[in-house]
Amino acid sequence: MYTLYYFPGACSLATQVVIHELGQSVDIIDKQQVSDFSAINPAGMVPVLVDNGKTLLEGAAVMLYLLNKHQSSMLPATGRGREQAIQNIMFANATMHPAYSRLFFIAQNIADEKAKQSSFDTAAQAITRLWQVVEQQLVGQDFLGGDQPSAADIMLTVYSRWGASFPVDISMGNNTIKMLDAVLEMPSFQRALSAEQRQSAA
């Protein structure tokens, strides 16, 4: 049984979905309900995964830990497929996630309304350019992982939901929209969303 610290709707949602996809059990804890979360992760961030007393930090590292531990088609054991899967996870975590994080930073730190909207617009254009990269990768395949959703597809789907919280116009191509819709409909994704809602309401 894993323990996963999360924040509702945050990148930790992708971790939970992947744990379900791997057929593992997980106990989820909202970081807001922890009195001294910085003792668990000094950076104050989710996801945090605890496995048998061992604490793992950083979304991509946690993802690779899980995928290395439990065999699955989401991370092929060898070869080009494995390299591509790792690259896709890193693209999601280290390129797309920070691009979306700018929106949160702008909302919290820029007071002047004109400067704020112009920063939102610039950040949204950068995000749209990254979705164009995803769109190109999805030519001829349904998911970044090929014909099945991969960890990166799940991570990108979680991030794609964040744009709705800001006054931004982010465009995505048809291949991308199809991929995101398919991931959203996965039973593991819906199960993870419900678990977060249940836990936060308790």
Ligand X SMILES: N[C@@H](CCC(=O)N[C@@H](CS)C(=O)NCC(=O)O)C(=O)O
Interface ranges with ligand X (CB under 6 A):
7, 10-11, 44-47, 58-60, 93, 101
Name the residue nearer to ligand X (CB basis): 97 or 138: 97
User: Tokens 């979905």 correspond to what residue?
Assistant: 17
Closest residue to bound ligand X by CB: 59
The DSSP line for 93-147 is IIIIHHHHHHHHHHHHH--SHHHHHHHHHHHHHHHHHHHHHHHHHTTT-SBTTBS
Tokens describing residue 66: 């899980």
Name the residue nearer to ligand X (CB basis): 99 or 124: 99
Name the residue nearer to ligand X (CB basis): 11 or 22: 11
- CB of 9: closest distance to ligand X in angstroms? 8
User: Tokens 């054991």 correspond to what residue?
Assistant: 77
- CB of 7: closest distance to ligand X in angstroms? 4
- CB of 157: closest distance to ligand X in angstroms? 13
Name the residue nearer to ligand X (CB basis): 18 or 138: 18
Name the residue nearer to ligand X (CB basis): 59 or 149: 59
- CB of 93: closest distance to ligand X in angstroms? 5
The answer to whether the beta carbons of residues 32 and 7 sit under 8 Å apart is yes
- CB of 49: closest distance to ligand X in angstroms? 10
Least Cα distance to 150 among 199, 103, 92, 104 occurs for: 92
